[in-house]
Structure 1
Amino acid sequence: MGIDLDISTPEGWHAALAALRWQMELGVDEFIGDTPINAYDLPDRKAAPAEAPAATPPKRAAAEPYIPQISPAERAAQAADAAVADAAARAAAAANLDALREALAGYDHCEVKKGARNLVFSDGRPGARVLILGEAPGRDEDLEGRPFVGAAGQLLDRMFAAIGLSRDNPDLQHALYITNVMPWRPPGNRDPSPEEIAMMRPFVERHITLAAPDVIVLMGNTPCSALLGAKGILRLRGTWTEALGRPVMPMTHPAYLLRNPVAKREAWADLLAIKARLG
């Protein structure tokens, strides 16, 4: 049996009010809409949202080329090697003594050159049987541009004159040819450093080859270091050895003899050994 809910009549109005109170007692507190909703219906499956594209990682800046760090010592060693290589190339290209002198004049790796007045190349007679290799120019040599012209040079001339040899003798059999390891005067007349000797060694070796002596006399420690790779002239002197395929006699430097006259006796013995070697 249906209930008349026509609220236009008193009976219908009271019936609607009673129905409303009944629903409120049942817990109804909200009207959603006019269309009934079946709570047992499954909800529509909505399309899954498309996955967002993976984020593109930011581009990394191009890596700069790796440049190894070079220590000051390594940089100095590389510069020294380059200086020696340049010396070797210049010396090898010199076809004669004049060309070798020009090669030395154009060589700028040796800092000693900057403080010197002159290039001290040689003196005496090229082709002489005896070549004297000294250490480095002193003050007098730097001023005059010739090796062994000071007090030590005057003593050297007297020493070799005693066995019949001189730098100005026109006879090559009795002449001397004189040069130094260093063609420039080191500051304060200091000894040449190992690095400076290494730079000059190619020039010295080429100089000896072009001068073509029969005997080489090494005056002091620096020439022994350049040609023999050894020091200790007081131990080395007086004993024949060999360098560049030629006989070599180490001797104490005349400057040492001026300071130590007692050593002249040993120097005289060395001179007699040279005279005997020349025959």
Structure 2
Amino acid sequence: MISAHDLSPAQLAALLAFHGDAGVEWLLEEEPVDRFAEFEAMKAARGSGRATATSNRADASASQPAARQTAAAAPTPSRAPAPVANAPAVAIPDAQAIEEARFAAESARSLAELRVAMEGFAGCNLRNSARNLVFAEGDAASGIMIVGPMPYADDDRDGQPFAGRLGEMLTRMIAGIGLTREGVLLSNVVPWRPPGNRVPTAREADICRPFIERQIALAEPKHLLLLGNFTARFFFGGNDTIHQLRGEWRELAIGGINVPTLATLHPQDLVTAPINKRFVWQDLLAFKARIHG
């Protein structure tokens, strides 16, 4: 096993960054520590301290003159209780958070206004752990929009959709059909990275739904490409897998417009299982034929 003492400062910093991006929150000690014994010792020490304090107060009270005891017994003006410091914030109910997201989204009249509204929205817990809001990026006037599920570690770090290795994979994917990152609009269903790259919960997806639907309505794409299992289920509904949903054109009605939509696998699926590249290539050729048809 490699010890932290064997690593250079640069190697140690890189390792800690890797663990942080992977969602690691706790590190183990090099030597085992009996936390139960520590806890029992703390309780015993705390109990001993309380007993000593009580004994000291009792002795002090017994030694006080009667006059001071009488004065202490006299009624004193009532005072309002002091406010409790650091009181926990009241959580917003799901229905209220969804309604606030819908109001914020519908109030935006442009993608720039929508971004400002999302930056000020506090109803989704994911923003508390994410580094950045990852908003749509690219050419909204292109008529082509590509939507993934959520930001990954590189996206969250850079504040851009499809950054890092997965972004490079997507760039190569669409370059094969004559498209560039700058020539399309890239976005995600959920704009904040979930801790450890976990799949967003149904509650988180419902709260973020008004934002991605408003992005689509404002951009008015002529063709929409969905990436990954979560994204396809989010828009198409049901519990089918991406292998069952991919490669079939569907009409999505969003924000008063109908958008021809095709689903395919996410770049992460190609990194995990390179055999999936053949399925994605078939889907991309179908997408190319439709946008140039």
| Superposition TM-score, scaled by structure 2 size | 0.65
Corresponding residue of 1:92: 106
> Structure 1 residues 194-203 or 230-239, which shifts more?
230-239
Supply the distance in 2 between the matched residues of 1:236 and 1:246 (Cα, whole angstroms).
16
Equivalent in the alignment of 1:138: 152
How far apart in 2 are the matches of 1:114 and 1:262? 37
Looking at structure 2, the residues matched to 246 and 126 of structure 1 have their Cα atoms a distance apart, in angstroms, of 14
Shift, 1:96, TM fit: 0.2
Structure-2 separation of matches of 1:176 and 1:230 = 28
The residue that corresponds to 1:208 in the other structure is 216
Amino acid aligned to 2:268: A
1:155 aligns with 169
Q: Which amino acid aligns with 1:222?
A: F
| 1:275 aligned partner, one-letter code | K
Q: 1:108 aligns with which of 122, 131, 137?
A: 122
Over 2 Å off, 4+ runs: none
Please list, as runs of the form range in 1=range in 2, the aligned pairs for 1:196-275 lying within 5 A after superposition: 196-231=204-239, 232-244=241-253, 245-275=258-288
Q: What is the CA–CA distance in structure 2 between the aligned matches of 1:236 and 1:266, rounded to whole Å? A: 12
Aligned to 2:275, the other structure's residue is in SS state: helix
Q: What is the SS of the residue equivalent to 2:146?
A: strand
Deviations along 1:118-144, one digit per CA (max 9) or x if unpaired, are 110022111222100111111111110
**Equivalent position to 1:185, from 185, 190, 193:** 193
| Alignment partners' CA distance in 2, 1:85 and 1:110 | 12
Q: Which amino acid aligns with 1:81?
A: A
Paired letter, 1:145:
G
SS at match of 1:216: strand
- What is the TM-score when the length of structure 1 is the normalising length? 0.69
- In terms of fraction of residues, the more helix-rich structure is 2
Aligned residue type for 2:223: V
Identity across the alignment (%): 42
- Report the Cα distance in structure 1 between the residues aligned to 2:194 and 2:238, rounded to whole angstroms: 21
Structure 2: how far apart are the matches of 1:243 and 1:270? Answer: 18
Query: Which deviations, in whole Å up to 9, do the C-alpha atoms of 1:52-96 show, x marking residues without a partner?
Result: xxxxxxxxxxxxxxxxxxxxxxxx9x9111111111111110000
Shift of 1:225: 2.9
RMSD: 1.5
Shift of 1:230: 3.0
Tell me the distance in 1 between the aligned counterparts of 2:249 and 2:161. 24
**Contact 1:198–1:226 at 8 Å: present in 2 too?**
no
**1:190 & 1:223 partners in 2: Cα distance?**
14
Distance 1:209 1:243 in 2: 11
Distance 1:112 1:91 in 2: 18
AA aligned to 2:181 is R
Count of equivalent residues:
198
Cα distance, 1:264 vs structure 2? 0.4
Q: Is 1:126 aligned with 2:140?
A: yes
Within-5 A mapping of 1:38-53: none
SS in 2 for 1:127: helix
- Aligned AA (1:266): F
Aligned AA for 1:273?
Answer: A
Deviation at 1:216, TM superposition (A): 0.7
Matching residue of 1:69: none
Question: What is the one-letter code of the residue matched to 2:126?
Answer: V
Letter in 2 for 1:82: Q
Task: Quote the Cα distance in structure 2 between the aligned partners of 1:274 and 1:89.
Answer: 34
